[in-house]
Structure 1
């Protein structure tokens, strides 16, 4: 592997799937940006923004345990991104082994591979979009 690292990384940058096997485990080397872009389209944020009488905005991810609040939509989304980052850390440490959280692998990868700005963009317009042709 080390003698072919440049070729592996070059192939990955071209979008090719590169696999490696050690024992019975097969691993993949791929472009992080290609994976992030794919997850942006296939992981749905299911975001709902709502205001209330106290002039606060709530950001809720339907079907997921995330609710955040701010003085406006931008504040609620910034708080939601912080919650997602905290969740990703907890998932890596312990939640990923729990049966009710183990299915969130794709969400965790999206969070980990994205900047805060990219996560806000995903919350606002991501998920379940047809691939760009």
Structure 2
């Protein structure tokens, strides 16, 4: 007999009571939902979510050289960094993204020109610096 692919908990209390089962199910690749006051949330492994964002969010990195400095920017997004080398500029871009993710969570997420950056912020928060550097090179749609 096959198990359902989604396990639904109608309240956070029932999910809390079965928390080990929630984590065991997600480890086996099953979707788990938890309802609370009309809001339904999904519990899933962070690495799977990060992998999805790695593919779904395009970095669109552009590099340029100006006055002996390397400029790195994310085309269509307000991120520009520089360094004396390509690696330095990209490492500075990672730092800019980390600072932005903190600002976004603290105050920017409701601003009309920032609210659509949720997926980018989640990718940044779920990734190591090396993973973000890899995303610059190979990530996106």
Q: TM-score range by the shorter chain?
A: over 0.9
In structure 2, runs of 5+ residues without a counterpart are 1-14
Greater RCO between the two (CA within 8 Å, min separation 6)?
1
**Aligned residue pairs: how many?**
127
Name the CA distance, whole Å, in 1 between partners of 2:63 and 2:42.
Answer: 37
Question: Superposition RMSD on alpha carbons, in Å?
Answer: 0.9
Name the CA distance, whole Å, in 2 between partners of 1:8 and 1:108.
Answer: 25
- For 1:113, the equivalent position in structure 2 comes to 126
- For 1:97, the equivalent position in structure 2 comes to 110
Matches within 5 A, 1:1-133: 1-52=15-66, 54-128=67-141
Q: Secondary structure at the match of 2:122?
A: helix
- The ranges of structure 1 where at least 4 consecutive aligned residues each deviate by more than 3 angstroms after the TM superposition are none
1:10 Cα deviation (Å)? 1.3
In structure 1, runs of 5+ residues without a counterpart are 129-133
